[in-house]
Structure 1
Amino acid sequence: MANLNLNHWRISRRTALRGLGATIALPLLDCMGALPAPTTPKRSVFLYIPNGVNTLSWQIEKAGRDFAFSTPLKSLERHRSDVTPISGLHHPMVLGKHHNCDKVWLTGANVPGDGGAFRNTVSADQLMVEVQGVSTRFPSLELAIEGHSLAWSKDGIQIPAERNSQQIFNQLFGVEKESKETLRRRLSRRGSILDLVANDAKRVAHKLGSQDRTKLDEYLTAVRQVETRTQRADEWLNIPKPTLAGGDASRLSQRLDMKKVADYHRLFFDLMVMALRTDSTRVISCMICSESNGGAIPDIGISQTRHGLSHHNGDPEQLRRLTQTDTFLVEQLSYFLDELKAHKEANGQPLLDTTQVLWGSGMAYGHSHGNANLPTLLAGGRALGYQHGQHLDFNLPKLGQYNVADANAHYRVCSRPVDGDARLSNLLLTMLQRADVKADRFQDSVRPLQELLA
């Protein structure tokens, strides 16, 4: 607070309470803008795992269509025609920096090497919201089984994630306990509070130092987001939430916890599928585990956190367990693809065909924090123009062949990019364009990945 002149300006208790009321009392308000005409859905789901993988057992060693899935990926064999494993991608501005990889996975922003505070940039999912989110009750869903949100606004502010499965169900399908008139009065009252907060902020902004202005700007960004959602929420009060069959409602609203990790993960995936099936949203991001202290899987006898396992120091048993957790997480992805494929839309097309799914991590391996050759899987989206069934490898044209038997040599591949132009932002740009976002570049992208397209 060194830049704040305490002798000339103090925030009054009344002003602080106004701000407190706006940021704490306001619930998530669901929709943005007047209801437009229905559009053809182009859906996107982003799924993040922390701390990389056991890259020695993960790496697919042959490019093209005649490849064999590695041990952790074998459950994807049944989805071969709908999935593309990708090798060699990286975020250039994150190389050599082991902190904040999760926070910039969908942004590609520069981060400080010491893990200190930084200002992020907009995440790819939120650019999709501007196009696909205008047609749905929820512009996007930010979820986290463990951890935090992957989504960041245009002002670089993190959008909060929901971690409670019952809250997610109620948000999507729950019956409002109050009448529409009561809800409208509440929305109007909140709008008035937001106006007061904005006016107070404008009045004092010029009296603040640079650091405090930055903090105030972050706060006002959050206020503006709530204000926009408040303005739009009234329109959706006249539109009933989807009604689920009794069996679906009971299954999706059940109370589970991490004592049964597989069931808990699949409950989140089931909620995502139902949100997409009912066109409640077309953009979802979900952190699967926390980078710092999550990821234990007692179902398969793994009590260690994923972060702990990633610091294996070459111990064979630790590596075996890490591969076991990699396998488990890919199996949950395979289940998600099963469910997306099983549901047919009105035109007979599988839901998976209109849904592009990105699964991956911002780190290749954790024990010495390599963040090139990121583990990356793209699935679905056949109706969006994708052609799957290949291993897209940006390393082999320059590398020639992999040698995972030499661990140190392969770790070097996962520490420094083989191809400097093989950027994760290229893939994110491709996904943006498939979702009808008018963009020629994203962050430090070089080109869209035409290799993925039919």
Structure 2
Amino acid sequence: MNQHHFSRRFFLRGVGVSMALPWLESFNVWGDQPRSNASASEAPVRLAVLFSGNGFHSQHWWAKGEGREMELGKALAPLSDFREKLLFVRGLYHEEARKGNIHSSQTGNILSGAPIASGGEIRSGTSFDQLLAQSYGRSTKVPSLVLGCEHSNPSVHKNYSMLYSSHISWNSATTPTPLELYPALAFDRLFKDEVAAADKSVLDAVLADAQDLRRRISIGDQRKLDEYLDSVREVETRIENAGIRGDIQGWRPTLDKPNMGRPADGIPQDIAEHMRLMSDILVLGFQTDTTRITTLKLNNDHSALRFPNLKSVEQPQHGIDYMIHHLLSHSDGEDWLKVNQFFMEQVAYIAGRLDSIQEGERTLLDNTMLMHCSSMMAGAKHDNDQLPVILLGGAGGRIQGGRVLDYKEKPERQLCRLFLSMMDKMDVHPKTFGDAKTMLEEV
């Protein structure tokens, strides 16, 4: 392998399979086109957008202070270990989201700020993750990965399609980006050239190429390569187990066990395991540089998810499966707070995984913008005059964490201004986006 070869994108390859490498010090793995303000060997900035519907407990979504002394409301408590890498953004909103109904009109433009069409028509706007995918995402095998943990809702609510409540990523004004709910198929999309059943695993297919590469890299990179391959194998095994495992949480059917074989490529019946698998796939996609842009919709707005895995405070004899997520959000009680914290635990898990992966002098979290948002502030009020938004990670040294930014009393507080700032960190520079003409300079 000569220097010319190292200057190009490097994949482990096998029959029907290609798998991008993680960051290695032995050679430049990120491509031939360095950003204007970075060397070609510097790890790229990644974007992950997480969404959970119906907002948060009205009393417990807040932050104040700076750095390790930052105080967090109870809803954000799972993120306490990441306070120095957390940017809490208060007061931003979408003007167009306040013109329609609740739920659909508050969600279908969450990443675009576009007007929403009513009367059964589907029209919103291209979301900023897909705008990034059109340019920044071209350098990876998968321009963007769009994941979800709850099926789309095809019904209509107050004259607006509930497809708006089911999709946060949009390819165009009339086309939501296809949503992958199946962990096995999401994994296949990252690592297989054709999404289909295979006779052997991804790792088995590329093993010979990996062994050849191992002889040509430093001892430190050999350890990193081994760690990376172990991570891929672990997720492969867990996906396989999710398809054949017999335990079922929550409501029990009249049969003690299914009367037919469960397909291997299914959705885990345990929502916690489903979310954890999708989180691991998100991290793997970034770790291998197979994609740099991922959205993960943890649930829909107007969600029907239940949480038998969480012990109820209000009804101690039950798990929190006595009421669907949407109705629970209206209660604003202790069980609603526990569900809020469960969603933040998913964010914390991803942040922890990213922060444990070293990329040169930074961690993968330091090279990522991990944003979480919702369609309203509090489910009990359906209020979206300001939206709950947090950012974790450093965007390759371009974002300073440990801060609270408050725009509530400022005249120009469009959420799309934040999106312009985030796109700028990834060297995509539209002059305007949605209803925003300027970035948030403080970000």
TM-score by length of structure 2 reads: 0.68
- Counterpart of 1:172? 190
Q: Pick from 366, 371, 376: which aligns with 1:358?
A: 371
Q: Structure 1 residue 101: deviation in Å? A: 2.0
Residue aligned with 1:353, SS: coil
Deviations along 1:286-334, one digit per CA (max 9) or x if unpaired, are: 111022333321111211222111222xxxxx52211111111101110
CA contact (8 A) 2:58 2:380 kept: no
**Residue 157, structure 1, aligned to residue 171, structure 2:** no
1:381 Cα deviation from its structure 2 partner: 2.6
CA distance in 1, matches of 2:275, 2:379: 23
Give yes or no for contact 1:166–1:255 (8 Å, CA) kept in 2.
Answer: no
2:158 alignment counterpart = none
The amino acid that maps onto 2:353 is E
Corresponding residue to 2:394 among 381, 392, 397: 381
- Using the alignment, how far apart are the partners of 1:165 and 1:276 within structure 2? 16
Alpha-carbon displacement from aligned partner over 1:251-306 (angstroms, at most 9, x marks no partner):
35442655432222111100100011111101111111022333321111211222
The question of whether the paired residues in 2 share the 8 Å contact of 1:96 and 1:371 is answered with no
Q: Please say if residues 131 and 436 of structure 1, whose CA atoms lie closer than 8 Å, have aligned partners that are also in contact.
A: no
Q: SS at 2:89's partner residue?
A: strand
Answering whether residue 125 of structure 2 is matched by residue 106 of structure 1, we say no
Instruction: Tell me which of 422, 425, 431 is aligned to 1:431.
Output: 422
Q: Secondary structure in 1 aligned to 2:177?
A: coil
2:356 aligned partner = 342
2:331 counterpart of 1:308: no
**Rounded Cα–Cα distance in structure 2 between residues aligned with 1:63 and 1:372:** 23
Residue in structure 1 matched with residue 333 of structure 2 by the alignment: 319
Paired amino acid for 2:237: S
Aligned partners of 2:33, 2:392: CA distance in 1, in Å? 25
Give me the whole-angstrom Cα distance separating, in 2, the residues matched to 1:253 and 1:344.
28
CA contact (8 A) 2:48 2:370 kept: yes
**1:68-112 alpha-carbon deviations (Å, 9 max, x no partner):** 100111121110111111111100111253123221111101125
2:109 partner amino acid: V
Contact 1:340 1:351 in 2 (8 A): yes
- AA partner of residue 391 (structure 1): V
Q: Counterpart of 2:84 in structure 1: which amino acid?
A: S
Shift of 1:163: 0.3
Mapped pair 1:86 → 2:99: no
Residues in 1 aligned to 2:430 and 2:328: alpha-carbon distance in whole angstroms: 39
CA distance in 1 between counterparts of 2:237 and 2:366 reads 28
Q: Does 1:59 align with 2:72?
A: no
Does the 8 Å CA contact 2:108/2:116 hold for their aligned counterparts?
Answer: no
In structure 2, the partner of 1:27 is none
Cα gap change, 1:283 to 1:333, in 2 (>3 Å): same
* In 1, Cα distance between equivalents of 2:378 and 2:133: 31
**Distance change in 2, residues 1:38/1:296 (3 Å):** farther
CA distance in structure 2 between the partners assigned to 1:294 and 1:258 by the alignment: 16
Structure 1 partner of 2:431: 440
Q: Distance in 1 between matches of 2:327 and 2:121?
A: 24
Structure-2 change in CA distance of 1:155 and 1:294 (3 Å)? same
The 5 Å alignment of 1:276-315 reads 276-300=286-310, 301-303=319-321, 304-312=323-331
Are the aligned partners of 2:53 and 2:303 in contact in 1 as well (CA < 8 Å)? no
**Partner Cα distance (1:122, 1:348) in 2:** 35
Question: Where is the strand percentage greater, Structure 1 or Structure 2?
Answer: 2
* Paired residues of 1:142 and 1:149 also in contact (CA < 8 A): no
CA distance in 2, matches of 1:78, 1:321: 23
Runs (4 or more) in structure 1 with deviation over 6 Å come to none
- Under a length normalisation based on structure 1, what TM-score does the superposition of the two structures give? 0.67
Between 1:333-342 and 1:301-310, the stretch displaced more is 301-310
2:142 match = 138
Aligned to 1:25: none
- In the TM superposition, residue 420 of structure 1 has moved relative to its aligned partner by 4.1
Q: Secondary structure at the match of 2:417?
A: helix
Q: Which residue of 2 aligns with 1:70?
A: 73
Give the distance between the partners of 1:259 and 1:424, measured in 2 at CA. 35
- Taking the aligned partners of 1:175 and 1:244, their CA distance within structure 2 comes to 18
Greater share of helix: 1
Contact 1:106–1:125 (CA<8 Å) still a contact in 2? yes
Separation of aligned partners in 1, 2:305 and 2:268: 10
Give the share of equivalent positions with the same residue, in percent: 27
Q: How far apart, CA to CA, are the structure 2 residues paired with 1:421 and 1:326? A: 29
Amino acid aligned to 2:271? V
* Counterpart residue identity of residue 430, structure 2: A
- The CA distance in 2 between the partners of 1:381 and 1:115, in whole Å, is 42
SS in 1 for 2:309: helix
Aligned to 2:344: 330
Structure 1 counterpart of 2:442, which letter? E
In structure 1, stretches of 5+ residues that fail to align are 1-29, 179-238, 313-317, 399-418
The answer to whether the Cα contact below 8 Å between 1:37 and 1:135 also exists between their aligned partners in 2 is no
